[in-house]
Amino acid sequence: MANLKKIYARPALLLVVITILDQWSKVWAMERLSLAMEYERLNWARTPINYHDSIKVFDSWFWFRYAENRAAAFSLTESIPEWIRMPLLIAVSVGAIVGVLIWLKRLGPKAKIMQISLGLILGGALGNLIDRVRLGYVVDFIDWHLRGVNPSYTFPTFNVADSAIVCGGILVLLFGGREERLIKEQRESADQVHEEHEEPATESLQGEG
């Protein structure tokens, strides 16, 4: 039990923090950016106010803009019928979460960087999974683009969960292999020392016999 706590404590903390932040930010986006009708009391009358579907943080490259993604990242699987696509995406998300949990257990308690990396991926995967189960689509609202240049470019709209998955993936690519090799070498070294200690004991028993 203590070993499992060392393995899963960091990933669990990241999972909770990222999931809460992701879901809170999506609720904010739906309330502020989805063109829902808001009402303001003026002289005892209610007047409808249309909120814009975008907020310009930096006009030329960074907006908040509401979008609903019923496909995978970068609109992958968009051509698949929805009655197949949605169960498929949910199954893939669940499978990814289970796979990451197994990977963490296999790495053991010493894989500190991988615990952070995979914790980010877990939080992001759970955040988007909640959207798919609850809403039938993923809420995106972070819009990066280049306007005022030729040609202009718009990066696919994303969210906090997507950001966590990408950051976790980059950390895995940069540090994961190195840390896994180091842990493997430490285990092999420990096994070798253990075998060397066992051999004299075996020889002593044989000599006594």
Catalytic residue among 22, 131, 140, 143: 140
Provide the phi-psi class of 77: left if phi over 0, else alpha when psi is between -120 and 50, else beta.
left
CA angle 104, 16, 110 (to 5 degrees): 25
Amino acid in the structure at residue 199? E
End-to-end CA distance of the chain: 41
Question: Which alpha helices (H) appear in 108-159, and where do they start and end?
Answer: 112-134
Taking the C-alpha atoms of residue 128 and residue 176, their distance in angstroms, rounded to an integer, is 24
Residue 43 token pair: 């002289």
Is 162 catalytic? The answer is yes
Residue that the structure tokens 């960091």 belong to? 10
Provide the phi-psi class of 43: left if phi over 0, else alpha when psi is between -120 and 50, else beta.
left
Catalytic residue among 22, 131, 143, 162: 162
Is 22 catalytic? The answer is no
Active site residues: 140, 162
